[in-house]
Amino acid sequence: MPQPPEQLRSRKREALAALLAIGIDPERATLFYQSSVPAHSELMWILSCTASVGYLSRMTQWKSKLNLDQKSSIEDRQAGSRLKLGLFSYPVLQAADILVHRATHVPVGHDQQQHLEFARECATNFNHAYGNHLVAPQTLIPPVHRVMSLTDPTSKMSKSHKAEKSRILITDAPKDIKAKIASAKTDSIPGISYDPATRPGISNLLDILSIFDAEGRQAAQLAEAYSDLSPKQLKEMVSDAVVTGLDGIRDRYLELVGKGDEYLDSIEAVGARKARESAEETMQLVRGAIGF
């Protein structure tokens, strides 16, 4: 989706600062902007030559982005008039992101399993046509909760959602976190219970609370322990837990951003150089296999 250039540049640095603020060590992890490694786009084009349009048409993301029914197809008039190639073929780029660095295992949430399966399909198609050169990665589903929107607990919490109150950012001040959770959608049923189907708002708050629970209790256990609380009391408890859990991250983020663009760019430059070297190893094999 097109974005204002200056805004995009700013958001890239903000994302990098956020990763550093939560504790990602650039000495152990390779941090870089996708745009710094042209091999991602090069491999995407090559993979697109063996990718299935039928498979892409069954992917759910482009339909969700356009607010279309999941039964929609590219032949539908409404979809065809609004769908752009960049959005439709984005899973091919995502596959290239993974395959160009020969990842063997990729941690994903349940909503991203389809994309990883497509990446495996891309690797299989290429290997079938040109020989066994790409690694088909395995799926790793970590035991973490899928945090839902505060304003619509039936949808995933997303930074791109138009409603700012729908999400908690690690850069939010404590007062903003408390205000967002205080306004979170719940229900009028007395007491606290965990049932995502009938009580999605309360269940989402319990899921969030379980992430920060010092005893490692699951959401259902927390519901049992705090069954007599009111929704307001639960929100206050969740707010305190989130503020405590994110303590220090916002300060580190602001400190990193305050150091200026040059500091963040220098960290990214080191990671980008490593990433280009990693990607080039794969691309030499790929180019040789297809005859370039």
- Taking every pair of C-alpha atoms in the chain, what is the biggest distance, in angstroms? 69
Q: What is the DSSP letter of 149?
A: P
Is 156 among the residues known to form the active site?
yes
Cβ contact 127:113 at 8 Å: no
Cβ contact 215:252 at 8 Å: no
Q: What is the DSSP letter of 187?
A: -
Catalytic residue among 159, 175, 232, 259: 159
Is 274 among the residues known to form the active site?
no
CA 200/CA 154 separation, integer angstroms: 6
Cβ contact 183:123 at 8 Å: no
Is 235 among the residues known to form the active site?
no
DSSP per-residue string spanning 169-207: -TT--HHHHHHHHHT----S-SS----TTT-HHHHHHHH
Catalytic residue among 12, 156, 165, 274: 156
Would you name the residues annotated as active-site residues?
A: 65, 156, 159
